[in-house]
Amino acid sequence: MVSRLCRFLLRLFGWQLVFAPPPSPKTVIIGYPHTSNWDFPLAMLWRFATGFPMLWVAKKEMFQNPLGGLFQRWGGVPLDRSKPEGFIEQVCAEFDKRDIFHLAIAPEGTRKRTDHWKTGFHRIAVAANVPLGLGFLDYEKKRLGIADWIVLSGDRDADLERIRAFYADKRGYRPERAGEIRFRD
């Protein structure tokens, strides 16, 4: 029932769902571009419409309000951004403990414009040896979802080139806020 309602709402607003099934029971998914507060409700509608058991990372402050428990039930994983050390190791340990684990991360780490992406998603996917899902919200074409899966080589430059090519035609709600697809030197 929830799935049908979410599909109906997305269609009502003109959105087309895209879903390439994961090639593995454990994956990392990036969601790009992340430029608006609207990205979250659309992603949640997509999650429930498809039934995909995706977990997602967000700043811990998002969970410190009356909706915090609901967000955790919806797959939210709080991240203390003031203490980034140890996060990669904690997530990799979760991959080892679980039979099914699909973790979505916004590589920019914010809705604001950034001049680089954070490396966490790449480090996690390489360390856990799991495929990377290319998730997106394209407001121009009104399409959202996960369109492709890639296996990272560990060569950051080569991997980013493949990712850059995929996202070249995707536009966020506020395209000027989309972070540059590169890692800090």
Give the pLDDT mean for 5-9. Answer: 97
Question: In this predicted model, what pLDDT tens digit does every residue of 94-144 receive, in sequence order?
Answer: 788 889 999 999 898 777 788 888 888 999 999 899 999 999 999 999 999
Burial of 60 (0-12, 13-18, 19+ CB in 10 A): middle
What is the residue type of 92? Answer: C
Report d(CA 159, CA 135) in Å as an integer.
15
SS (H, E, C) 95-123: HHHCCCEEEEECCCCCCCCCCCECCHHHH
Which of 84, 41, 7, 19 minimizes the C-alpha distance to 173? 41
Question: In this predicted model, what pLDDT tens digit does every residue of 11-36 receive, in sequence order?
Answer: 999 999 999 999 999 999 999 998 99
Question: In this predicted model, what pLDDT tens digit does every residue of 49-102 receive, in sequence order?
Answer: 999 999 987 778 888 888 888 888 888 887 776 766 677 887 888 788 889 999
What predicted TM-score, i.e. pTM, was given to this entire model? 0.87
Question: In this predicted model, what pLDDT tens digit does every residue of 154-183 receive, in sequence order?
Answer: 898 999 999 999 999 999 999 989 888 888
Burial of 21 (0-12, 13-18, 19+ CB in 10 A): exposed
Report d(CA 82, CA 142) in Å as an integer.
35
